[in-house]
Amino acid sequence: FRLGGRAGGTMAFLFASSLMGVGASSASSRLRARTVEQVQEHSSADDCWIVAHGKVYAVPKHFMKEHPGGQDSIGRRAGLDATRDFDFHSKSGKKSWEVYCIGRLT
C-alpha cells in the first residue's frame, strides 16, 4: 500500500465536512445513500472510503498517517467493508469516527 501526495489537512477536511453536513450530529436517516460501487471507487490512500456497520466513512490522509495501527491498517480496507477492524476499537475510538461519516451503504 502506497501513499501519494495531496494538499490539505485537518482544518481543510473539517471545513469541507461542515459544508457537506458531515458530523456526529448527522442522523442516520439523513445520511446520503452510497452504493458499493461508489465506495469501491475510493480505494486509495489519497481517496479512502471504508464501510463499518453500513455507514460509509471518508478517511482523511492525515488520519491514516496518525493512526496508532499505522496507515496500512486502514489502507488495506480502502474501498471495502472494515466492520471487523472497526469493532476492534474502544467505544470512544468508534465515536471519534463519526466526524468522518459521509453516508449509509445502500
pLDDT, tens only, 37-49: 999 999 998 999 9
How many CB atoms neighbour CB 92 within 10 A?
7
pLDDT of residue 15: 35
Q: Is the pTM of this model over 0.75?
A: no
pLDDT above 50 for 1: no
In degrees to the nearest 10, what's the CA dihedral of 47, 78, 73, 61? 10
What is the spatial distance between Cα 98 and Cα 56, in angstroms, rounded to a whole number? 10
The per-residue pLDDT for range 19-72, each reduced to its tens digit, is: 344 444 445 558 999 999 999 999 998 999 999 999 999 999 999 988 888 889
Q: Please give the pLDDT value at position 30.
A: 80
